[in-house]
Amino acid sequence: MANYMDIIAGCKDKPGGIIEAYHAIQKEYNYIPEEALKEAAKAFKLSEAQAFGVATFYSYLSVKKRGKYIIRMCESAPCHVAGADEVLKAMEAYLGIKVGETTPDNKFTLELSECVGQCQATPVVTINSEPVFNVKPEMVPGILAGYK
């Protein structure tokens, strides 16, 4: 696993480097640890509040510890009409968590997402950014069993 200090150092002289650093850190850790936010503030000559603001502005970035698998349910209108609410209820029941939570074993985090651009195959779920199309509630156990 790459050290967040090395990641930040490699991005600090680039335009927009803080965002690039945050993406790289999140790729390694699945979130941006508080210590990394503090180091980014120093490296990019920002206040800690500003560094936190950048990290929390983008919905894709997270400052909360998350599971190994990030499940994101698309909540766009086409997915909603196609039954996303029922799929989300099935996921919550199967995982035993609500949206915004992580399973006790730190394996799964359940989040909502804006449109993922796959409206031809709704409802859509992404697992670590990989889309799963035309999801029905009864498919949830089979889809998630592959990640257990």
Per residue in 38-53, pLDDT (tens digit) is 999 999 999 999 999 9
Domain extent at residue 35? 4-57
Compute the mean pLDDT over every residue in the chain, rounded to the nearest whole number. Answer: 94
Same domain, 136 and 73: yes
Residue 30, phi-psi category: left (phi > 0), alpha (psi -120 to 50), beta (remainder): left
Rounded Cα–Cα distance for residues 33 and 11 (Å): 17
Q: Are residues 78 and 32 in the same domain?
A: no
Residues 74 and 20 in one domain: no
With H, G, I as helix, E, B as strand and everything else as coil, classify residue 70. strand
Q: Are 121 and 74 in contact (CB under 8 A)?
A: no
Residues 86 and 53 in one domain: no
Distance (Å) of CA 124 to CA 70, 84, 132, 142: 14, 8, 6, 15
Q: Are residues 138 and 73 in the same domain?
A: yes
pLDDT for the residue 33 = 96
Which tens digits make up the pLDDT trace of 69-88?
999 999 999 999 999 999 99
Q: Which tens digits make up the pLDDT trace of 91-143? A: 999 999 999 999 999 999 999 998 989 999 999 999 999 999 999 999 999 99
Q: Are residues 75 and 125 in the same domain?
A: yes
Number of domains composing the chain: 2
Verify that 76 and 139 share a domain, yes or no: yes
What phi and psi values does residue 118 have, to the nearest 5 degrees? -125, 45
Instruction: Quote the pLDDT of residue 92.
Output: 98
Residue among 108, 33, 114 at smallest CA distance from 67: 108
- Tell whether 141 is covered by a domain: yes
Of 28, 22, 105, 98, the residue nearest 67 (C-alpha) = 105
* CATH number of the domain encompassing residue 122: 3.40.30.10
Regarding whether 129 and 102 lie in a shared domain, the answer is yes
Is the same domain home to 53 and 73? no
Whether the pLDDT of residue 148 is over 80: the answer is: no
Q: Same domain for 96 and 118? A: yes
Residue 62 lies in a domain: no
For helices 17-29 and 34-43, angle between their N-to-C axes, nearest 10 degrees: 160
Instruction: Decide if 63 is inside a domain.
Output: no
- Asked if 97 contacts 108 with a C-beta cutoff of 8 angstroms, the reply is yes
